[in-house]
Amino acid sequence: MILTVTLNPAVDHTVRIDELPASGSVARTDDAQFDPGGKGINVSKYLVGLGADTLATGLVGDFLGDYIANSLDEEGIPRDFVDIDGSSRLNTTLLTDDAEYKINHDGPRVSRESVDDVVDTIERYDPSMVVIAGSRPPGLGPDAVDRIARAGPWRTAVDVGGETLAELSAAYAVCKPNREELAAATGRAVDSLEDCVAAARALREQGFDRVVASLGADGALVAGGEGVLHAAALNVDVVDTVGAGDALLSGFVDALERGRSDREALQAGVAVSSRVVAVTGTDVPRFADVQSDVESVSVSVV
């Protein structure tokens, strides 16, 4: 089983309006959407679509936490969250005809004891891999991520901010930075593919077995025991890049759990990501025939 941990999930509230209201006036709309959000939750969504055994856990609270849990139940995403006293986040996106505005909450203040409850939940399911992804709520530092990684025999993958990556000290099977996070974690330039390769090598030396970096139009790379491998992006019509990095990680760890090589896992990650960017938001596309895309991903040693 691949178990995902989202320490700071949110309800994503998207509202479309004609234009921002003037001070003191009211804008009205009948176009609003609510979705359960969080990088670990997204990974579990895609893993379910890939037919993998997965479960989502993390910290939720109050009516917004109930909404996240109930929404995953409706979508058929296995979950077992830890309840906290505070309220889960509400992240609002305002869309007008020509602009996008985001208002994100920091999240509830969380105690160290809540991390112990997360570890207890993980231990009940005895996963072979744990994926810790997304931001941390107030009250938790990078040591919370290390505590989860060290708490059991599972392999751990992380998709967290670059500054957090730089502070982690436990052993990790996989880390998944994007280009900006790769720069933040290493203090290196990432302007060219060669820069990204050097930064990935440097980050691996900090204690990660594999560094899987998503590079947008430049594809993706993995620095691991087989050297540094680069996969070109597939030629697809990009509708929405939301969830692309989560999809890359999902395909990669799913392939690893099936005993695939780093090369094959990178191909799988790029193929899954290419399916996700062709649909809106974090909707789960059809993965039944994704193997045809996997075989189309070109990988080279760099």
Would you name the residues annotated as active-site residues? 246
How far, rounded to the nearest angstrom, does the alpha carbon of residue 91 sit from its chain's CA centroid? 16
Nearest CA among 220, 226, 234 for reference residue 266: 220
Q: What is the largest CA-CA distance in the chain?
A: 61
HSE at residue 214, side-chain half, CA atoms within 13 A, is 26
- Report d(CA 40, CA 47) in Å as an integer: 11
Q: Give every strand in the sheet of 227-231, ordered side by side.
A: 82-83, 54-60, 2-6, 129-133, 155-159, 172-175, 208-214, 220-224, 227-231, 299-301
Contact 225, 262 (CB under 8 A): yes
Contacts of 205 (CB under 8 A, 6+ apart): none
| Distance between CA atoms of residues 61 and 257, nearest Å | 32
